[in-house]
Amino acid sequence: MIIDFIADYYQNMEKYPVLSQVQPGYLAKLLPKSAPNIPEPIETILHDIQQYIIPGITHWQSPNYFAYFPTSSSIAGFLGEVLSTGFNVVGLNWISSPAATELEFVTMDWLGQMLGLPQSFLFSGVGGGVIQGTTCEAILCTLVAARDQMLAKVGRENIGKLVFYGSDQTHCALLKAAKVAGLECKNFRAIKTMRSTAFQLSAESLRTTIRLDVEAGLIPAFLCATIGTTSTTAVDPIRSLSEVTKEYGMWIHVDATYAGSACICPEYRHFMDGVENVNSFSFNAHKWFFTTLDCCCLWVKDPGALTKSLSTSPEYLKNNASDSKQVVDYKDWQITLSRRFRSIKLWLVLRSYGVENLRNFLRIHVKMAKRFQQLVESDNRFEVVVPRNFAMANVQHFNRNLLETMNASGKVFMTHTIVEGIYVIRFAVGATLTEDKHVIKAW
Amino acid sequence: MIIDFIADYYQNMEKYPVLSQVQPGYLAKLLPKSAPNIPEPIETILHDIQQYIIPGITHWQSPNYFAYFPTSSSIAGFLGEVLSTGFNVVGLNWISSPAATELEFVTMDWLGQMLGLPQSFLFSGVGGGVIQGTTCEAILCTLVAARDQMLAKVGRENIGKLVFYGSDQTHCALLKAAKVAGLECKNFRAIKTMRSTAFQLSAESLRTTIRLDVEAGLIPAFLCATIGTTSTTAVDPIRSLSEVTKEYGMWIHVDATYAGSACICPEYRHFMDGVENVNSFSFNAHKWFFTTLDCCCLWVKDPGALTKSLSTSPEYLKNNASDSKQVVDYKDWQITLSRRFRSIKLWLVLRSYGVENLRNFLRIHVKMAKRFQQLVESDNRFEVVVPRNFAMANVQHFNRNLLETMNASGKVFMTHTIVEGIYVIRFAVGATLTEDKHVIKAW
């Protein structure tokens, strides 16, 4: 019944408004004030989901969804999550389910190869990959490792002097992670970028900013560079930035949350130029890679830096395998101890579609975004704000209410940003079911 | 095919060794070195899962699983996760799927009522609940809120002076969270507990420890009290501890990770005595509450304290609903921005079973643990280490190799701890499929 329900949901999805049209507080009025004492039949529950829940859903899987970034599902991703939930194991350490840990090795090495990551990031080299929930966790873990590495040199009392860098386009996940990690907000440098240079962080600006901080007695610790920023999919120049961070012994993390997946296509690989010089690299397979939420892939060159900061070893988790140091205990690579068997869904996606198809799916999305951008360019009421890098177009229109009107129609859902004072409509193609006709209709 | 595969897995589960018997590195040898270029049929993939993955699984859902704590699944929990994966929405803020946010309100208020939490923790009062991934996140979020609240009073430069407290039985998640949050490990007080007082943290010891810290110029900030510790399910006296923390303006979090679920039964509610005085309370519905991993339920009295530390508001996430301040944006209640639609599985569990059945399921587990303990007591080779509080027995045996021999047999899986120098076998009943016969067999 549940599988049929979900199949019907996908069948009917285009009939629902993409952006939910309910009002705040709508649901509490429709549901009882307390849990039932006795069981309710699944028919009643499914009825309520159809009547009460679906109207309150914003349909991220709709072919008319062009908002934020995609969170693309697929049959294989879905089935992988179902298997993971069926097994329902807690792979916190190796012994608690060796297959969960070892399949993660294998899958992360496969995917790392697909991206052309150097051997130094793979288990077959001296690095390794780990599946986190989201980019927020990946940034937090690497930032904590970077913080502790630096404080080990300069003394823990200097935590208030650590400076962390990004551009004014860097995702807010960096500032959030820094706040959690106990760093000072005032020590965040959101270095200015410009439309004229496609909102890239320039190495020159970074160097100038760092010099001023060092002169002021502060300690540069961490740079988050981005491949595919949220506002405009800008790509920071990894190689030249890494040359600057190297001078100062800083950690450099590459956040390729959205655009990392495109780098499995050789024609996008150049955006990763210089990646061999960075400390860590992450992208979300649950964004534009057909794997259901959540699945953030993080590779690090020095797993020891992560585990030094994140390890715990209470008596009740001790076991011979861990003591032997022959195994990886992923609990020490992440914020949480418990972890789901996420690698199996990523493995199903890779095997069910194969590398060539995955590349082609992404290329089709890019082609649709290109098509949309051409349509925009052909109409002088609109302007393209920055050149398209991947499958997202950035559009300026004289009427700010246009976006709200479109979203209120329920026929499409797009979101906005503001860059250099320009109000921009973002049009991100990537929902698995989107076809040419949806893009034309959206236009 | 996948559903049939999972059904077969449950059917055959008792044929597999509970604790996986594979050797480190077994899987990489069995799988190709890189992802396939072309699609592979699901039959091939399922064959590989049967042949290669299942032998590497430690079967947490086996009726012969008595290790760590349970991670109990159920049909309703499973189906809820399947629905959540089908919708695959990212409920980071209200607008991105109002139903995901509002169902979480409703479900957390239902569950809060079931636990007898005071109105001050519920949305129907002035507090509120949020579903996090795991306890590690719940402790980290509350610790960060407590840290920032205190630093706002004493100045951020004093981060190195903040002291956080637990007992020597407190879960390692506290120390891990503190490390992530940039607190000093040396400022963690793991206050000594004793077998003679059932490993409870005494208010007197806490007061003495705090006084010494204050005299030394340090600043007490946070106490993590536990209902149901990992080693022996000890219960800290919440009321008397909260009287001490109140004197010092400290945050007190109650970690009821495992035993919280039992408190839906009136006969266990007394363990929560004094909870009206604490700041936050959490338990894992994915542990002993039939909801699949992950689902940690956290209630706070002052959501503003959380959101003050964890909020972000970049332009690309701005929307009218958030601006109106009429809605909850759960991204500001947790470490990550993206979040799965977890409430739907908890809601399915509550509705499909009903409160009375859920209580009875837990009572049956307790009864089985009681039975096991009686068997132990009747045999003078064994000794019960501390009186049983919930569904876990603590057993001492003269031969330390016993546990390893049992686990190597593949017939049962239990884990150990050490308290007051005593090597203890933990026998935790709670796997959904466990029946009397499995307990007898284990004995």
- pLDDT tens digits, one per residue of B265-313: 999 999 999 999 999 999 999 999 999 999 999 999 999 999 999 999 9
- Quote the minimal CA–CA distance from A307 to chain B in Å: 11
B379 and B258 fall within a common domain: no
The per-residue pLDDT for range B298-355, each reduced to its tens digit, is 999 999 999 999 999 999 999 999 999 999 999 999 999 999 999 999 999 999 999 9
* Yes or no, beta carbons of B90 and A160 under 8 Å apart: no
CATH number at residue A133: 3.40.640.10
| Residue to test with chain A: of B13, B71, B82, B171, most A Cβ within 10 A | B82
* Contacts of B128 by beta carbon, 8 Å cutoff, 6+ apart: B105, B108, B121, B122, B299, B300, B303, B328
Choose the closest CB to A27 out of B2, B103, B293.
B103
> Above pLDDT 70, what percent of chain B?
100
The model's confidence at residue B24, banded by pLDDT at 50, 70 and 90, is: very high
Instruction: Indicate whether B353 belongs to any domain.
Output: no
Q: Is residue A105 part of a domain?
A: yes
pLDDT in tens, B34-92: 999 999 999 999 999 999 999 999 999 999 999 999 999 999 999 999 999 999 999 99
CATH of the domain at B20: 1.20.1340.10
Radius of gyration of chain B, Cα coordinates, nearest whole angstrom: 23
Q: Count of domains in chain A?
A: 1
Cα distances from A257 to residues A105, A138, A237, A330, B248, in angstroms, run: 20, 10, 16, 21, 43
Does residue B280 sit in the same domain as residue B340? Answer: yes
- What's residue A400's pLDDT? 81
Report yes or no on A20 lying in a domain.
Answer: no
pLDDT at B383: 94
Identity of the residue in A28, A315, A417 whose CB atom sits nearest the CB atom of B106: A28
Q: Which two tokens stand for residue B303?
A: 């959501």
- Nearest CA to B231 among B199, B269, B196? B199
Which pairing describes strands A392-397 and A422-428: parallel, antiparallel, or unpaired? antiparallel
Residue A270 distance to chain B (closest CA, Å) = 21
Q: Name which of B40, B181, B315 is nearest A418 (Cβ-Cβ).
A: B315
Find residues 116-175 of chain B whose CB sits inside 8 Å of chain A.
124, 133-134, 136-137, 140, 144, 147-148, 156-157, 159-160, 171-173, 175
Q: Measuring CA to CA, which residue among A243, A255, A233 is closest to residue A175?
A: A255
Note the helical H segments in B218-293.
238-247, 285-288
Contact across the interface for B56 and A98, Cβ inside 8 Å: yes
Give mean pLDDT, residues A217-242. 98
Q: What is the residue whose two structure tokens read 């049939």?
A: B4
Residues A261-307 pLDDT 10s: 999 999 999 999 999 999 999 999 999 999 999 999 999 999 999 99
Q: How far is CA A393 from CA A267, A370, A373, B127, B319, in A?
A: 19, 8, 6, 41, 20
Within-domain flag for B200 = yes
- CATH assignment at residue B433: 3.90.1150.10
* pLDDT at res. A189: 98
List, in sequence order, the alpha helices (H) in B121-217. Answer: 135-154, 173-180, 203-215
Least confident of A332-341, B11-20, B386-395, B398-407: B398-407
Q: Where among B312, B347, B382 does a domain terminate?
A: B347
- On whether any CB of chain B is under 8 Å from the CB of A60, the answer is yes
Q: Are residues B125 and B233 in the same domain?
A: yes
pLDDT for position A399: 83
Work out how many CB contacts closer than 8 A connect A with B.
391
The reported pLDDT for the residue numbered A398 is: 81
Within a domain: A179: yes
- pLDDT above 90 (res B398): no
Tell me phi and psi for residue A340, to 5 degrees. -80, 165
Phi-psi region of A245 (alpha: psi -120 to 50; beta: other; left: phi over 0): alpha
Q: Specify whether B293 is located in the same domain as B371.
A: no
Q: Can you give the C-alpha Rg of chain A in angstroms?
A: 23
* Distance separating alpha carbons of residues A94 and A302, to the nearest angstrom: 19
User: What is the average pLDDT across B357-365?
Assistant: 98
User: Which residues span the domain enclosing A341?
Assistant: 78-347
Whether B102 sits inside 8 A of A54 (CB atoms) is no
CB of B98 within 8 Å of any CB in chain A? yes
A 400-419 residues with CB < 8 A to B: 404, 415-418
CB atoms within 10 A of CB A258: 28
Of A133, A159, A172, nearest to B182 by CB-CB distance is A159
- For residues B46 and B90, state if they share a domain: no
Closest partner CB to B27 (pick from A5, A106, A148): A106
Which residue of chain A is at minimal alpha-carbon distance from B333? A176
What residues of chain B, 278 to 337, have a C-beta less than 8 Å from chain A?
Answer: 286, 292-294, 309-310, 312-318, 320-321, 324, 326-327, 335-337
Query: B214 and B124 in one domain?
Result: yes
Whether pLDDT at B208 is above 90: yes
Q: Which pLDDT tens digit goes with each residue over A372-393?
A: 999 999 999 999 999 999 999 9
Q: Which of A8, A10, A31 to mutate to test the interface with B (most CBs of B within 10 A)?
A: A31
ipTM: 0.97
Considering the domain architecture, whether residues B220 and B336 belong to the same structural domain is answered as yes
Q: Amino acid identity of A108?
A: M
pLDDT of residue B304: 97
Same-domain check for residues B307 and B433: no
Domain final position from B317, B347, B377: B347
Indicate the residue of B24, B61, B100 with minimum beta-carbon distance to A321. B24
Question: In the numeric block, which tokens belong to residue B65?
Answer: 């699983």
Q: Which of A172, A182, A316 sits opposite B231 (nearest CB)?
A: A316
Q: Which of A55, A175, A315 sits opposite B417 (nearest CB)?
A: A315
Residue type at B437 in one-letter notation:
K
Give me the mean pLDDT over the B240-266 stretch: 98
Q: Tell me what pLDDT residue A293 has.
A: 95
- pLDDT of res. A397: 87
B408: tokens are: 């190597």
Q: What pLDDT, in 10s, does the model give residues A164-207?
A: 999 999 999 999 999 999 999 999 999 999 999 999 999 999 99
In a domain, A266, yes or no: yes
Q: Is A70's pLDDT higher than 90?
A: yes
Closest residue of A to B359, CA-based? A37
In the block, tokens 């039964």 appear at: B265
What per-residue confidence (pLDDT) applies to A369?
98
**Inter-chain CB proximity A106 and B31 less than 8 Å:** yes
Give percent of chain B with pLDDT exceeding 90. 98
In DSSP notation, A172-206 reads: THHHHHHHHTT--GGGEEEE---GGGTTPPPHHHH
Write down the mean pLDDT value for chain A: 97
pLDDT of residue B397: 87
Question: Strand ranges (DSSP E) for B382-421?
Answer: 382-384, 392-397, 415-419
Which of B57, B255, B325 to mutate to test binding with chain A, by most A CBs within 10 Å of its CB?
B57
- The whole-chain average pLDDT of chain B stands at 97
Q: Mean of the pLDDT values across residues A420-430?
A: 96
pLDDT at B247: 97
Give the model confidence (pLDDT) of A93-136 as tens digits.
999 999 999 999 999 999 999 999 999 999 999 999 999 999 99
CA dist A24 to A238, A267, B97, B317, B322, Å? Answer: 43, 45, 11, 17, 10
Say whether both B125 and B259 belong to one domain: yes
CB A90 to CB B68 under 8 A?
yes
- The whole-number average pLDDT for the span B3-12 is 97
Residue at B438 is within a domain: yes
Q: Whole-angstrom Cα distance, residue A442 to residue A128?
A: 42
Closest CA in chain A for residue B81? A85
In tens, the pLDDT along A8-43 reads 999 999 999 999 999 999 999 999 999 999 999 999
Residue A23 maps to a domain: no
Query: How far is the C-alpha of A443 from the C-alpha of A427, rounded, in Å?
Result: 10
Is residue B145 domain-shared with residue B274, that is, in the same domain? yes
CB-CB contact of A91 with A330 (8 Å): yes
Classify A380 as helix, strand or coil. coil
Same domain, B371 and B341: no
Sign of the dihedral through C-alpha A31, A34, A35, A40? negative
Chain A nearest CA to B312, separation (Å): 7
- Give the C-alpha separation, A35 to B351, whole Å: 7
Examine the fold and report which residue of B300, B318, B347 is the final residue of a domain before the chain moves on.
B347
Asked if B314 and A230 come within 8 Å (Cβ–Cβ), the reply is yes
Kindly determine whether residue A37 and residue B73, on different chains, have CB atoms separated by under 8 Å.
Answer: no
Residue reference for tokens 């608690």: A96
pLDDT at A371: 97
Residues B207 and B278 in one domain: yes
Asked whether the beta carbons of B241 and B403 are under 8 A apart, the reply is no
Q: Is the pLDDT of residue B399 over 90?
A: no
Query: In this complex, is the C-beta atom of B364 within 8 Å of any C-beta atom belonging to chain A?
Result: no
Nearest residue, CB atoms, A40 vs list B103, B293, B351:
B351
